[in-house]
Structure 1
Amino acid sequence: MRAGKVTGPAVAVSLAVLALGCAAPGTRDGDAQAIPTETSSPATSSSPAGVAEPTGRQPDAPPNHGDNNGWKRRHELSAADERAGRELAARIRPSLEALRAAGDFAPASTQRALLDLGIQPDAIQVTTMRPPTGQETPPPGAVYAVRFGTVGCVIGDVRPDRVMVEVTGSAVEFGCLEPFSH
Protein backbone atom coordinates (compact mmCIF):
# COMPACT_ATOMS: atom_id res chain seq x y z
CA MET A 1 0.00 0.00 0.00
CA ARG A 2 1.46 3.35 -1.03
CA ALA A 3 1.00 6.48 0.99
CA GLY A 4 -1.92 8.52 -0.19
CA LYS A 5 -3.62 5.69 -2.08
CA VAL A 6 -5.99 3.28 -0.29
CA THR A 7 -7.21 0.16 -2.05
CA GLY A 8 -10.54 -1.60 -1.44
CA PRO A 9 -9.09 -4.68 0.32
CA ALA A 10 -6.95 -2.46 2.57
CA VAL A 11 -10.00 -0.46 3.64
CA ALA A 12 -11.91 -3.64 4.45
CA VAL A 13 -9.06 -5.03 6.56
CA SER A 14 -8.64 -1.69 8.37
CA LEU A 15 -12.33 -1.53 9.18
CA ALA A 16 -12.38 -5.13 10.43
CA VAL A 17 -9.39 -4.52 12.74
CA LEU A 18 -10.97 -1.32 13.94
CA ALA A 19 -14.29 -3.03 14.69
CA LEU A 20 -12.65 -5.92 16.57
CA GLY A 21 -10.12 -3.94 18.55
CA CYS A 22 -12.16 -0.89 19.45
CA ALA A 23 -15.43 -2.24 20.72
CA ALA A 24 -17.04 -0.04 23.34
CA PRO A 25 -16.24 -0.96 26.97
CA GLY A 26 -18.82 -3.24 28.47
CA THR A 27 -19.76 -4.86 25.17
CA ARG A 28 -17.53 -7.92 25.52
CA ASP A 29 -17.68 -10.64 28.18
CA GLY A 30 -15.60 -9.69 31.20
CA ASP A 31 -15.62 -5.94 30.46
CA ALA A 32 -16.62 -3.41 33.06
CA GLN A 33 -20.02 -1.78 32.61
CA ALA A 34 -19.93 1.11 30.16
CA ILE A 35 -20.58 4.58 31.57
CA PRO A 36 -22.69 6.71 29.22
CA THR A 37 -21.36 10.14 28.41
CA GLU A 38 -23.11 13.29 27.25
CA THR A 39 -22.26 13.80 23.59
CA SER A 40 -24.08 17.02 22.85
CA SER A 41 -23.17 20.36 24.32
CA PRO A 42 -25.75 22.10 26.53
CA ALA A 43 -26.10 24.90 23.98
CA THR A 44 -27.14 22.53 21.20
CA SER A 45 -29.12 20.01 23.23
CA SER A 46 -32.85 20.00 22.55
CA SER A 47 -33.77 18.70 26.00
CA PRO A 48 -32.69 20.08 29.37
CA ALA A 49 -29.85 18.29 31.08
CA GLY A 50 -31.04 16.14 33.99
CA VAL A 51 -29.26 14.77 36.99
CA ALA A 52 -29.20 11.00 36.96
CA GLU A 53 -30.60 9.38 40.08
CA PRO A 54 -28.08 7.06 41.71
CA THR A 55 -28.91 3.42 41.32
CA GLY A 56 -27.77 0.46 43.33
CA ARG A 57 -26.44 0.46 46.87
CA GLN A 58 -25.22 3.84 48.09
CA PRO A 59 -22.03 4.17 50.16
CA ASP A 60 -22.56 3.84 53.90
CA ALA A 61 -26.18 2.70 53.45
CA PRO A 62 -27.16 -0.94 53.72
CA PRO A 63 -29.47 -2.47 51.12
CA ASN A 64 -33.14 -1.60 51.70
CA HIS A 65 -32.23 1.01 54.34
CA GLY A 66 -35.40 3.01 53.66
CA ASP A 67 -37.65 -0.05 53.78
CA ASN A 68 -35.94 -1.41 56.87
CA ASN A 69 -36.45 1.87 58.72
CA GLY A 70 -39.99 2.53 57.50
CA TRP A 71 -41.34 1.56 60.92
CA LYS A 72 -39.76 4.75 62.30
CA ARG A 73 -41.67 7.10 59.97
CA ARG A 74 -43.83 9.51 61.88
CA HIS A 75 -47.21 10.97 60.99
CA GLU A 76 -47.28 14.47 59.56
CA LEU A 77 -48.94 17.00 61.86
CA SER A 78 -51.67 19.33 60.66
CA ALA A 79 -51.27 23.05 61.33
CA ALA A 80 -53.76 22.73 64.22
CA ASP A 81 -51.83 19.77 65.70
CA GLU A 82 -48.58 21.70 65.33
CA ARG A 83 -50.05 24.65 67.25
CA ALA A 84 -51.47 22.39 69.96
CA GLY A 85 -48.10 20.66 70.28
CA ARG A 86 -46.21 23.95 70.62
CA GLU A 87 -48.66 25.10 73.32
CA LEU A 88 -48.24 21.82 75.22
CA ALA A 89 -44.45 22.00 74.85
CA ALA A 90 -44.49 25.57 76.23
CA ARG A 91 -46.32 24.26 79.33
CA ILE A 92 -43.97 21.29 79.76
CA ARG A 93 -40.61 23.03 79.40
CA PRO A 94 -40.69 25.22 82.56
CA SER A 95 -41.60 22.26 84.78
CA LEU A 96 -38.78 20.16 83.39
CA GLU A 97 -36.33 23.08 83.55
CA ALA A 98 -37.19 23.39 87.26
CA LEU A 99 -36.35 19.69 87.75
CA ARG A 100 -33.03 20.12 85.95
CA ALA A 101 -32.17 23.22 88.00
CA ALA A 102 -32.88 21.22 91.18
CA GLY A 103 -30.63 18.37 89.95
CA ASP A 104 -33.55 15.94 89.91
CA PHE A 105 -33.28 13.66 86.89
CA ALA A 106 -35.29 10.72 88.20
CA PRO A 107 -37.91 9.31 85.82
CA ALA A 108 -40.44 9.30 88.70
CA SER A 109 -39.92 13.05 89.17
CA THR A 110 -40.40 13.68 85.46
CA GLN A 111 -43.60 11.62 85.53
CA ARG A 112 -44.87 13.56 88.55
CA ALA A 113 -44.07 16.95 86.91
CA LEU A 114 -46.07 15.97 83.80
CA LEU A 115 -49.00 14.73 85.89
CA ASP A 116 -48.95 17.99 87.88
CA LEU A 117 -49.57 19.81 84.58
CA GLY A 118 -52.92 18.00 84.31
CA ILE A 119 -51.78 15.58 81.62
CA GLN A 120 -53.63 12.26 81.75
CA PRO A 121 -51.53 9.32 82.99
CA ASP A 122 -52.29 7.18 79.92
CA ALA A 123 -50.85 9.93 77.65
CA ILE A 124 -47.47 9.93 79.44
CA GLN A 125 -44.53 7.61 78.96
CA VAL A 126 -41.27 8.05 80.92
CA THR A 127 -38.14 5.87 80.95
CA THR A 128 -34.51 6.06 82.04
CA MET A 129 -31.83 7.23 79.65
CA ARG A 130 -30.27 4.54 77.47
CA PRO A 131 -26.84 3.39 78.58
CA PRO A 132 -24.02 4.24 76.17
CA THR A 133 -22.76 1.32 74.09
CA GLY A 134 -20.60 -0.96 76.20
CA GLN A 135 -21.91 0.34 79.52
CA GLU A 136 -24.58 -1.12 81.76
CA THR A 137 -25.44 1.94 83.83
CA PRO A 138 -27.55 4.63 82.18
CA PRO A 139 -26.47 8.25 82.59
CA PRO A 140 -28.56 10.50 84.85
CA GLY A 141 -31.75 11.64 83.19
CA ALA A 142 -35.18 10.67 81.95
CA VAL A 143 -36.71 10.30 78.49
CA TYR A 144 -40.37 11.22 78.16
CA ALA A 145 -43.24 11.36 75.68
CA VAL A 146 -46.65 12.97 75.95
CA ARG A 147 -49.29 11.96 73.41
CA PHE A 148 -51.85 14.58 72.32
CA GLY A 149 -54.61 14.63 69.73
CA THR A 150 -54.77 11.64 67.42
CA VAL A 151 -51.16 11.58 66.14
CA GLY A 152 -49.20 14.22 68.08
CA CYS A 153 -46.32 13.75 70.51
CA VAL A 154 -44.16 15.99 72.64
CA ILE A 155 -40.96 14.05 73.22
CA GLY A 156 -37.63 14.81 74.86
CA ASP A 157 -35.39 14.29 77.81
CA VAL A 158 -34.22 15.85 81.06
CA ARG A 159 -30.50 15.54 81.84
CA PRO A 160 -27.86 17.53 83.71
CA ASP A 161 -26.79 19.53 80.66
CA ARG A 162 -30.17 20.20 79.01
CA VAL A 163 -33.91 19.83 78.70
CA MET A 164 -35.08 18.76 75.26
CA VAL A 165 -38.66 19.34 74.14
CA GLU A 166 -39.71 18.40 70.58
CA VAL A 167 -43.11 18.35 68.87
CA THR A 168 -43.52 15.53 66.36
CA GLY A 169 -45.99 12.99 65.01
CA SER A 170 -46.38 9.48 66.38
CA ALA A 171 -45.21 6.42 64.49
CA VAL A 172 -47.63 3.69 63.46
CA GLU A 173 -45.42 0.93 64.84
CA PHE A 174 -44.58 2.28 68.29
CA GLY A 175 -46.38 5.53 69.09
CA CYS A 176 -44.32 8.38 70.54
CA LEU A 177 -41.18 6.81 72.05
CA GLU A 178 -39.02 4.73 69.76
CA PRO A 179 -38.23 1.45 71.52
CA PHE A 180 -34.63 0.65 72.45
CA SER A 181 -33.44 -2.15 70.19
CA HIS A 182 -29.76 -2.72 71.01
Structure 2
Amino acid sequence: MKQISLLILLMVTSQRDGFAHSGGLDAFGGHNDRKNGGYHYHGSSRSSSYSYTPPSTTARTTARTASRRTTSSLSTARRDARSSARTPDERASEAFDAIGEAMATLHYLADHHPETPVGKEAKQVIFRVNACNDEWEAMQHERDHEEQELKAENKLRLAKSMLKQKPSIGEKWLTDIVEQFPNTSAAKEAQELLDQL
Protein backbone atom coordinates (compact mmCIF):
# COMPACT_ATOMS: atom_id res chain seq x y z
CA MET A 1 0.00 0.00 0.00
CA LYS A 2 2.83 2.35 0.86
CA GLN A 3 4.43 1.67 -2.55
CA ILE A 4 1.22 2.49 -4.40
CA SER A 5 0.77 5.81 -2.59
CA LEU A 6 4.40 6.68 -3.31
CA LEU A 7 3.87 5.82 -6.98
CA ILE A 8 0.74 7.99 -7.14
CA LEU A 9 2.56 10.84 -5.41
CA LEU A 10 5.41 10.61 -7.92
CA MET A 11 2.99 10.57 -10.86
CA VAL A 12 1.11 13.62 -9.59
CA THR A 13 4.32 15.50 -8.83
CA SER A 14 5.88 14.70 -12.21
CA GLN A 15 2.69 15.67 -14.03
CA ARG A 16 2.49 18.95 -12.10
CA ASP A 17 6.13 19.72 -12.89
CA GLY A 18 5.58 18.60 -16.47
CA PHE A 19 2.81 21.12 -16.94
CA ALA A 20 4.61 23.86 -15.05
CA HIS A 21 7.86 23.27 -16.90
CA SER A 22 7.03 21.95 -20.32
CA GLY A 23 9.91 21.17 -22.62
CA GLY A 24 12.67 18.59 -22.77
CA LEU A 25 15.43 17.96 -20.28
CA ASP A 26 19.08 18.43 -21.06
CA ALA A 27 21.90 16.06 -20.04
CA PHE A 28 22.08 17.67 -16.57
CA GLY A 29 18.37 17.40 -15.81
CA GLY A 30 17.57 21.00 -16.61
CA HIS A 31 14.34 21.81 -18.37
CA ASN A 32 13.71 24.25 -21.18
CA ASP A 33 12.76 27.67 -19.84
CA ARG A 34 10.63 29.34 -22.47
CA LYS A 35 10.91 32.80 -20.92
CA ASN A 36 14.59 33.21 -21.68
CA GLY A 37 15.15 30.45 -24.23
CA GLY A 38 17.68 28.61 -22.04
CA TYR A 39 17.62 25.75 -19.53
CA HIS A 40 16.62 26.05 -15.88
CA TYR A 41 17.75 23.81 -12.99
CA HIS A 42 16.25 22.84 -9.62
CA GLY A 43 17.88 21.11 -6.71
CA SER A 44 21.46 20.87 -5.53
CA SER A 45 23.02 19.01 -8.46
CA ARG A 46 23.16 22.20 -10.53
CA SER A 47 22.87 25.74 -9.32
CA SER A 48 19.77 27.53 -10.50
CA SER A 49 21.93 30.33 -11.85
CA TYR A 50 23.51 28.04 -14.45
CA SER A 51 21.84 28.61 -17.78
CA TYR A 52 22.73 27.24 -21.17
CA THR A 53 21.12 28.69 -24.25
CA PRO A 54 21.21 26.31 -27.19
CA PRO A 55 21.21 27.62 -30.75
CA SER A 56 17.66 28.49 -31.64
CA THR A 57 15.72 29.89 -34.54
CA THR A 58 12.84 31.28 -32.54
CA ALA A 59 11.37 34.66 -33.30
CA ARG A 60 12.85 36.08 -30.10
CA THR A 61 16.38 35.03 -31.09
CA THR A 62 15.83 36.37 -34.59
CA ALA A 63 14.66 39.69 -33.13
CA ARG A 64 17.72 39.83 -30.86
CA THR A 65 20.01 39.07 -33.80
CA ALA A 66 18.34 41.73 -35.94
CA SER A 67 18.70 44.20 -33.07
CA ARG A 68 22.41 43.38 -32.75
CA ARG A 69 22.86 43.78 -36.50
CA THR A 70 21.14 47.16 -36.40
CA THR A 71 23.32 48.24 -33.46
CA SER A 72 26.40 46.99 -35.27
CA SER A 73 25.37 48.82 -38.43
CA LEU A 74 24.81 52.01 -36.46
CA SER A 75 28.20 51.79 -34.77
CA THR A 76 29.83 51.11 -38.14
CA ALA A 77 28.00 54.10 -39.59
CA ARG A 78 29.13 56.28 -36.67
CA ARG A 79 32.72 55.10 -37.09
CA ASP A 80 32.54 55.76 -40.84
CA ALA A 81 31.08 59.22 -40.21
CA ARG A 82 33.88 60.03 -37.77
CA SER A 83 36.46 58.69 -40.20
CA SER A 84 35.00 60.66 -43.12
CA ALA A 85 34.94 63.80 -40.97
CA ARG A 86 38.71 63.58 -40.69
CA THR A 87 40.74 65.14 -43.45
CA PRO A 88 42.89 62.99 -45.73
CA ASP A 89 45.95 64.53 -44.08
CA GLU A 90 44.75 63.39 -40.65
CA ARG A 91 44.09 59.86 -41.91
CA ALA A 92 47.47 59.76 -43.63
CA SER A 93 49.14 61.01 -40.46
CA GLU A 94 47.48 58.24 -38.43
CA ALA A 95 48.58 55.65 -40.99
CA PHE A 96 52.17 56.92 -40.92
CA ASP A 97 52.12 56.82 -37.11
CA ALA A 98 50.95 53.20 -37.19
CA ILE A 99 53.64 52.30 -39.72
CA GLY A 100 56.26 54.06 -37.58
CA GLU A 101 55.21 52.11 -34.49
CA ALA A 102 55.30 48.83 -36.42
CA MET A 103 58.75 49.59 -37.81
CA ALA A 104 60.04 50.52 -34.33
CA THR A 105 58.81 47.16 -33.04
CA LEU A 106 60.44 45.32 -35.95
CA HIS A 107 63.75 47.12 -35.37
CA TYR A 108 63.60 46.30 -31.65
CA LEU A 109 63.02 42.61 -32.38
CA ALA A 110 65.77 42.50 -34.99
CA ASP A 111 68.27 44.27 -32.70
CA HIS A 112 67.48 42.59 -29.38
CA HIS A 113 66.52 39.08 -30.53
CA PRO A 114 68.52 38.53 -33.74
CA GLU A 115 68.92 34.75 -33.35
CA THR A 116 65.30 33.94 -32.57
CA PRO A 117 62.81 33.06 -35.32
CA VAL A 118 60.91 36.28 -34.58
CA GLY A 119 64.10 38.36 -34.83
CA LYS A 120 65.06 36.71 -38.11
CA GLU A 121 61.59 37.31 -39.50
CA ALA A 122 61.76 40.94 -38.36
CA LYS A 123 65.07 41.37 -40.23
CA GLN A 124 63.52 39.96 -43.40
CA VAL A 125 60.51 42.27 -43.12
CA ILE A 126 62.78 45.29 -42.55
CA PHE A 127 64.85 44.30 -45.58
CA ARG A 128 61.72 44.00 -47.76
CA VAL A 129 60.35 47.33 -46.50
CA ASN A 130 63.67 49.06 -47.22
CA ALA A 131 63.78 47.51 -50.70
CA CYS A 132 60.23 48.75 -51.34
CA ASN A 133 61.19 52.20 -50.05
CA ASP A 134 64.22 52.33 -52.36
CA GLU A 135 62.08 51.24 -55.31
CA TRP A 136 59.38 53.76 -54.42
CA GLU A 137 61.94 56.56 -54.08
CA ALA A 138 63.41 55.68 -57.48
CA MET A 139 59.95 55.73 -59.05
CA GLN A 140 59.15 59.00 -57.30
CA HIS A 141 62.42 60.53 -58.50
CA GLU A 142 61.61 59.42 -62.06
CA ARG A 143 58.11 60.90 -61.80
CA ASP A 144 59.51 64.15 -60.44
CA HIS A 145 62.03 64.30 -63.27
CA GLU A 146 59.27 63.70 -65.85
CA GLU A 147 57.18 66.48 -64.29
CA GLN A 148 60.17 68.84 -64.39
CA GLU A 149 60.79 67.97 -68.05
CA LEU A 150 57.15 68.66 -68.90
CA LYS A 151 57.11 72.01 -67.07
CA ALA A 152 60.40 73.05 -68.69
CA GLU A 153 59.15 72.11 -72.17
CA ASN A 154 55.98 74.16 -71.68
CA LYS A 155 57.97 77.18 -70.51
CA LEU A 156 60.42 76.76 -73.39
CA ARG A 157 57.56 76.79 -75.89
CA LEU A 158 56.23 80.01 -74.36
CA ALA A 159 59.71 81.57 -74.25
CA LYS A 160 60.28 80.78 -77.96
CA SER A 161 57.03 82.48 -78.95
CA MET A 162 57.84 85.43 -76.67
CA LEU A 163 61.28 85.79 -78.31
CA LYS A 164 59.50 86.59 -81.58
CA GLN A 165 57.14 89.15 -80.01
CA LYS A 166 59.21 90.70 -77.20
CA PRO A 167 62.84 89.51 -77.29
CA SER A 168 63.82 90.94 -73.89
CA ILE A 169 61.02 89.05 -72.08
CA GLY A 170 61.74 85.88 -74.09
CA GLU A 171 65.42 86.09 -73.14
CA LYS A 172 64.49 86.44 -69.45
CA TRP A 173 62.22 83.39 -69.66
CA LEU A 174 65.00 81.34 -71.29
CA THR A 175 67.31 82.33 -68.42
CA ASP A 176 64.63 81.30 -65.92
CA ILE A 177 64.34 77.87 -67.58
CA VAL A 178 68.10 77.31 -67.35
CA GLU A 179 68.11 78.29 -63.66
CA GLN A 180 64.89 76.55 -62.55
CA PHE A 181 65.23 73.30 -64.55
CA PRO A 182 69.00 72.75 -64.87
CA ASN A 183 68.99 68.99 -65.61
CA THR A 184 66.38 68.95 -68.36
CA SER A 185 66.62 68.79 -72.12
CA ALA A 186 64.59 72.03 -72.29
CA ALA A 187 67.26 73.80 -70.19
CA LYS A 188 69.97 72.65 -72.62
CA GLU A 189 67.94 73.94 -75.55
CA ALA A 190 67.25 77.23 -73.73
CA GLN A 191 70.98 77.65 -73.07
CA GLU A 192 71.72 77.07 -76.77
CA LEU A 193 69.16 79.73 -77.70
CA LEU A 194 70.69 82.16 -75.19
CA ASP A 195 74.14 81.52 -76.64
CA GLN A 196 72.84 82.42 -80.12
CA LEU A 197 71.44 85.78 -78.95
* Fold equivalence (TM over 0.5): no
Query: Which structure carries more helix by proportion?
Result: 2
TM-score (norm 2): 0.19
Larger Rg: 2
Greater length-normalized contact order (CA 8 Å, ≥ 6 residues apart): 1
TM-score (norm 1): 0.20
